[in-house]
């Protein structure tokens, strides 16, 4: 059974979630409640919940800080954030803390239930993975090569510190590390390939890569280490005399492997190569060099990188320049200027690329541009759930993208789709304003209600009210009043009707109120207007 913690400073919210969700049907139980993040921190230690449902804004410690604390200290606990519409953009900062889902308040039980089911699915997958890893540990005891790989995996990640233990283990496992390079291979597949089912066969792909690495480097003592489902690390001893620089030699040899997988299996492999190292204690450093070298593929279209090419950024982009680019992109989206929006975005990306800004910084800028684009759509009151879904997918794609060209493609799609959607919505808005204005002109003498106009335009009343003010600069009440007064001026000019008759004729039952409104918009009372209107034009214009 999965244990649930609810964190919210409003008791009614906590009790509502605890009492109205069908917990039993999901094999869940609410085991504890907290009023804020600080209280939740204490309860986590004792109650050990599987899933935490937390409000975003709370005194003491809010949902974002709580998510960060959980991510850093209890990464196995899954967090669901409850957020209001006004806090939605702020809530996106929690994505980096692996929050499972964001649920807008107020929300139906179904939305919360769906988020919980997602968390349960993730937990189940992680537990299954954990069980598989435990099973693998048992098998390692029976196979020397697997024992070597396990030890070296921990070693390159800096998990072994005691030198005596390291020396003894290396001797026991018959590992030879003298003068060596570390090579880091990472692969991606062509998703259209009929030969490869990515989800099913990643393990097989890694096996094939390991096999070909062993063939190419068969004359050198080497150790292949699986890092994750997309990458392996190879430690190669430089035992033989090589006519050229060892880095260049292994680079050229690796090209054979990369070309084979690219041409025959539709698999793209990127490679990072460390400097040459001679001390056993430098294995972790060499591994870090190889991974840092590979990070260069985010900026470049090449697929082989050496640590000598790696130069970390020392300064961040000027903030004013950054804001100028972002503002120009968003303004271009607002004005539906596709060319300027895309050219500005491409210039900005080039600036980020050429100055080698940190990858995380560049991705955060991508998320910023995307979130501001989505915010423009939110201003039109379109389907919130659709925006949440699209934005969540986009942010995930940005965080997971492997290259700056991938990021450029994502942002291009966001910009163009936002422009297309806004253009459509703006044309709809103009049509609505014309329709409403025409209706008022034809029905000014009747009672006109906002809800009736909203029904006529097929939009909700709050949206229509905001749209009228935005497009005309006047409220609906002011537009109706101005229309009636203009009609009243025409009737007064005829001179054959009394003021109270004209008031009724233009839809205002109370003559006194009519006179008050008339003076507000003309500066004259009806009788004063009638007198001036009768004067010759030369006198009335003095």
CA distance linking residue 196 with residue 203, whole number of Å: 11
CATH value at residue 87: 3.40.50.2300
**φ, ψ (nearest 5 deg) of residue 189:** -115, 155
Report the CATH number at residue 302.
3.30.70.270
Tell me how far apart the alpha carbons of residues 148 and 155 are, in angstroms, rounded to a whole number. Answer: 10
Q: How far apart are CA 491 and CA 537, in angstroms?
A: 18
In contact, 55 and 13? CB cutoff 8 Å = yes
Q: Which residues pair with 78 in a beta bridge?
A: 51
Q: Confirm whether 134 is domain-assigned.
A: no
DSSP class of 23:
T
Residue 136 belongs to a domain: no
Same domain, 17 and 162: no
Q: Look at strands 231-237 and 222-228 and give their pairing.
A: antiparallel
The whole-number pLDDT of residue 539 equals: 42
pLDDT computed for residue 273 by the predictor: 92
CA 374 from centre of chain: 10
Please state, in angstroms and rounded to a whole number, the distance separating the CA atoms of residues 96 and 108: 26
* 295: exposed, middle or buried (Cβ count in 10 Å: 0-12, 13-18, 19+): middle
Query: What's the pTM value of the predicted model, to 2 decimals?
Result: 0.51
Half-sphere exposure for 403 (CA within 13 Å, toward CB)? 12
- Residue 237 pairs in a beta bridge with 180
The token pair at 481 is 């009043």
Our count of domains for the chain comes to 4
pLDDT value of position 198: 53
Residues 76 and 148 in one domain: no
Whether residues 330 and 402 fall in one domain: yes
pLDDT for residue 193? 46
Residues pairing with 80 in the sheet = 53, 101
Say whether both 172 and 280 belong to one domain: yes
Rounded to whole angstroms, the Cα distance separating 414 from 345 reads 11
- Whether 104 is in a domain gets the answer yes
Task: Report d(CA 59, CA 7) in Å as an integer.
Answer: 11
Is position 135 within any domain? no
Does residue 314 lie within any of the structural domains? no
pLDDT at 497: 87
Query: Angle formed by the axes of helices 404-443 and 319-334, to 10°?
Result: 40
| Chosen domain end from 366, 398, 423 | 423
- What CATH number corresponds to the domain at position 520? 1.10.10.60
Phi, psi of 53 (to 5 degrees): -105, 115
User: Do 42 and 26 fall within a single domain?
Assistant: yes
Residues 256 and 168 reside in one and the same domain: yes
Does 250 map to a domain? Answer: yes
**Structural domain of 165:** 143-309
Domain check: are 286 and 262 in the same one?
Answer: yes
Q: 232 has which bridge partners? A: 185, 226
Contacts of 151 (CB under 8 A, 6+ apart): 160, 169, 170, 173, 175
Alpha-carbon gap, residue 209 to 213, rounded angstroms: 6
Ordered DSSP codes for 121-179: HHHHHHHHHHHHHHHHHHHHTT-HHHHHHHHHHHHHTT----HHHHHHHHHHTT---SS
Please tell me whether residues 366 and 455 are part of one structural domain. Answer: no
| Separation of alpha carbons 94 and 309, rounded Å | 34
Strand pairing report for 51-55 and 28-34: unpaired
Q: Is the CA virtual torsion 102, 106, 108, 109 positive or negative? A: positive
The residue among 129, 162, 177 that closes a domain is 129
Closest CA to 474 of 433, 426, 427, 518: 433
Identify whether residues 479 and 376 lie together within a single domain: no
- On whether residue 88 sits in a domain, the answer given is yes
279 and 163 assigned to the same domain: yes
pLDDT at 364 (0 to 100): 93
Residues 150 and 289 in one domain: yes
Q: Per-residue pLDDT for the chain (542 aa), expressed as one digit of tens each?
A: 999 999 999 999 999 999 989 999 999 999 999 999 999 999 999 999 999 999 988 999 999 999 999 999 999 999 999 887 666 677 677 788 889 988 888 777 889 999 999 999 999 999 999 888 888 766 655 677 888 888 899 988 888 767 888 888 888 888 888 889 999 999 876 554 444 455 557 778 888 888 888 888 888 889 999 998 889 999 999 876 665 678 888 888 888 888 888 888 788 888 999 999 988 888 999 999 999 998 888 888 788 888 987 766 666 778 888 889 999 999 999 888 999 999 999 999 999 988 888 889 999 999 999 999 988 887 765 566 777 778 889 999 999 888 899 999 999 999 999 998 888 777 777 778 888 888 898 899 999 999 988 888 888 888 888 888 888 888 999 999 999 999 999 898 888 889 999 999 999 989 999 999 999 999 999 888 888 866 554 444 44
Pick the last residue of a domain from 268, 285, 309. Answer: 309
Distance CA 537, CA 542 (A): 9
Residues 177 and 304 reside in one and the same domain: yes
For residue 165, tell me if it sits in a domain. yes
């Amino acid at each position: 059974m999965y244990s649930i913690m609810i964190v919210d400073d409003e008791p009614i919210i906590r009790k509502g979630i605890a009492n109205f969700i069908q917990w039993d049907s999901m094999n869940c139980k609410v085991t504890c409640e907290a009023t804020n993040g600080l209280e939740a921190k204490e309860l986590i230690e004792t109650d050990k919940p599987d899933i935490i449902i937390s409000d975003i804004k709370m005194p003491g410690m809010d949902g974002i800080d709580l998510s960060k604390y959980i991510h850093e200290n209890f990464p196995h606990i899954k967090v669901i954030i409850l957020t209001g519409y006004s806090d939605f953009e702020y809530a996106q900062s929690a994505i980096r803390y692996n929050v499972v889902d964001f649920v807008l308040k107020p929300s139906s039980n179904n939305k919360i239930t769906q988020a919980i089911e997602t968390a349960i699915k993730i937990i189940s997958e992680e537990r299954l993975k954990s069980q598989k890893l435990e099973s693998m540990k048992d098998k390692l005891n029976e196979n020397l090569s697997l024992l070597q790989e396990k030890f070296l995996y921990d070693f390159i990640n800096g998990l072994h510190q005691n030198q005596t233990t390291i020396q003894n283990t290396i001797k026991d496992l018959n590992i030879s590390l003298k003068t060596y390079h570390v090579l880091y291979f990472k692969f991606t597949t062509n998703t259209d390939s009929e030969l490869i089912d990515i989800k099913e066969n990643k393990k097989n792909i890694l096996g094939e890569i390991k096999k070909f690495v062993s063939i190419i480097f068969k004359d050198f003592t080497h150790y292949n280490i699986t890092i994750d489902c997309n990458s392996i690390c190879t430690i190669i001893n430089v035992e033989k005399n090589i006519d050229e620089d060892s880095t260049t030699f292994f680079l050229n040899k690796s090209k054979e492997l990369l070309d084979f997988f690219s041409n025959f299996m539709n698999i793209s492999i990127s490679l990072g190569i460390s400097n040459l190292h001679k001390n056993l204690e430098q294995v972790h450093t060499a591994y870090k060099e190889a991974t840092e070298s590979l990070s260069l593929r985010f900026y470049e279209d090449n697929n082989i990188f050496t640590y000598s090419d790696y130069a970390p950024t020392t300064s961040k982009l000027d903030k004013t320049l950054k804001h100028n680019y972002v503002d120009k992109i968003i303004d271009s989206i607002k004005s539906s200027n596709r060319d300027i929006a895309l050219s500005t975005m491409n210039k900005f990306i080039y600036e980020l690329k050429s100055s080698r800004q940190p990858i995380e910084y560049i991705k955060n800028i991508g998320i910023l541009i995307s979130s501001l684009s989505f915010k423009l759509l939110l201003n039109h009151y379109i389907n919130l759930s659709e925006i949440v879904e699209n934005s969540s997918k986009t942010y995930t794609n940005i965080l997971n993208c492997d290259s700056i060209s991938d990021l450029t493609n994502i942002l291009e799609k966001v910009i163009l789709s936002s422009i297309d959607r806004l253009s459509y919505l703006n044309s709809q808005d103009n049509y609505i304003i014309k329709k409403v204005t025409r209706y008022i002109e034809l029905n000014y003498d009747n009672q006109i209600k906002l809800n009736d106009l909203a029904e006529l335009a097929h939009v909700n009343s709050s949206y229509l009210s905001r749209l009228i003010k935005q497009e005309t600069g006047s409220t609906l009440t002011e537009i109706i009043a101005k229309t009636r007064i203009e009609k009243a001026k025409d009737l007064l000019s005829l001179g054959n009707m009394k003021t109270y008759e004209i008031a009724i004729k233009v839809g205002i039952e109370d003559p006194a109120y009519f006179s008050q409104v008339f003076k507000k918009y003309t500066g004259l009372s009806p009788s004063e207007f009638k007198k001036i209107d009768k004067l010759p034009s030369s006198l009335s214009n003095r």
